[in-house]
Amino acid sequence: MPVGLHLPAAMAAVAGLAMVVGMLLPWSSGAQASAFDSVGVVGALTALLLIAAWVMWRTRRRWLAITASAFALLAGLAGATLAAFVALAVLIDDEVRLQAGLAVIFLAGLLGAAAGRRALRRLRSDPRRWVNRSERG
């Protein structure tokens, strides 16, 4: 019997794909070294969000769904925090302006965190604690 996390998994997948779009969009109007260094971190967070979404969608094991949901929550929070930090670093420099990429990554991070939180709340309210031995396939 599946744990029923299709909506949070879809939200996490959309957040991961939005992070890919945010990586491709420009982050600032000037050349910023921290933005180029941060693309690798955003790429890793994107991969983590997409893997967590896939696991939440497919798993029947509650403990695995809890782990994937926690990773989605943490990856979303890390993405939003990183985007805010890079935006602050860009705003300190007076000669450059923010572009759409950071806003997309920030919003995608918030969506990923919301997906993880929603999945964890769904799992907490689930009356089944663990998969019974008779349900194991």
Residue 70 CB partners (closer than 8 Å, separation 6+) = 116, 120
The number of beta carbons lying within 10 Å of the beta carbon of residue 132 is 9
Question: Distance (Å, rounded) from C-alpha 28 to C-alpha 31?
Answer: 7
How far does CA 75 lie from the centroid of its chain? 5
CA 46 → CA 8, 51, 56, 104, 137, distances in Å?
16, 9, 15, 13, 31
Q: Which regions of 5-132 does DSSP assign to beta strands (E)?
A: none
What is the chain's pLDDT, residue by residue, as a tens digit (137 residues)? Answer: 467 899 999 999 999 999 999 998 888 766 554 566 788 899 999 999 999 999 999 998 888 999 999 999 999 999 999 999 988 887 887 667 778 889 999 999 999 999 999 999 999 887 666 555 555 55
Write down the pLDDT at residue 1: 45
Question: Distance (Å, rounded) from C-alpha 68 to C-alpha 78?
Answer: 15
Q: Which amino acid is at 29?
A: S
Give me 38's structure tokens: 């941060």
Write down the pLDDT at residue 37: 73
The answer to whether 21 and 49 have CB atoms below 8 angstroms apart is no
Question: Distance (Å, rounded) from C-alpha 63 to C-alpha 18?
Answer: 27
